[in-house]
Amino acid sequence: MAERDKAFVEFVEAATPSLRRTAYLIGGDRHKADDVVQETLYKVYLAWPKVQRAGNPFAYARRMLVNVAYDGGRRPWRREVTIAEVPEHDAHGGDFATGHAERDEVLEALRALGPRQRACIVLRYYEDLSVEQTAEILGCSESTVRSQASRGLDALRKAIDRRRSPAL
């Protein structure tokens, strides 16, 4: 195996779980997330020498992942009904059923956000990126990230409150 390919395989093994979770949270569907990650890694491989020279392949891949997810959402044949299915993750203890119910509430509310707000929320709070890093990945200003994240969090709070409040 060529040295280039070895380095790429190591990168894929290390980055795929995080890229897959991010793609799922942005797109809301496990199977679409797999497609987005596969297309992203294909594009990263094509640009691998350039990516390595840039020095931060994970940041490059994350930005490309967001772009691929956006592009896929614009194609009419890619618009499918999402399935409420959660990818595997590490359990952190606590009540299993309550944890799943709360996660399902958040995921449902997250799916209702627009693509830009959803990407801001996922990158800022799930991936724990700074405003600057998120702006760079999304190709927008820092003030746009702040406003989209703020509006997204407000929409998430309202959606979860509506679900938890009994209808009168």
Which of 75 and 39 is assigned the larger pLDDT? 39
For 84-138, what is each residue's pLDDT tens digit? 555 555 544 555 555 556 777 788 888 888 888 999 999 998 888 999 999 998 8
Q: Which of 62, 83, 104 is the last residue of a domain?
A: 83
SS3 64: helix
The mean pLDDT value of the chain amounts to 81
**In the predicted structure, residue 5 carries a pLDDT above the cut 70:** yes
- 11 phi, psi to nearest 5 deg: -60, -45
**Are 98 and 79 members of one domain?**
no
| 8 A C-beta contact, residue 156 and residue 113 | yes
**Are 51 and 110 members of one domain?**
no
Give me the domain span that covers residue 152: 94-168
**Are 132 and 58 members of one domain?**
no
Q: How many domains does the chain have?
A: 2
Evaluate whether residue 88 is within a structural domain.
Answer: no
Q: How many CB atoms lie within 10 A of CB 28?
A: 20
**Are 104 and 154 members of one domain?**
yes
Distances (CA, A) of 5 to 12, 26, 45, 79, 161: 10, 29, 9, 34, 49
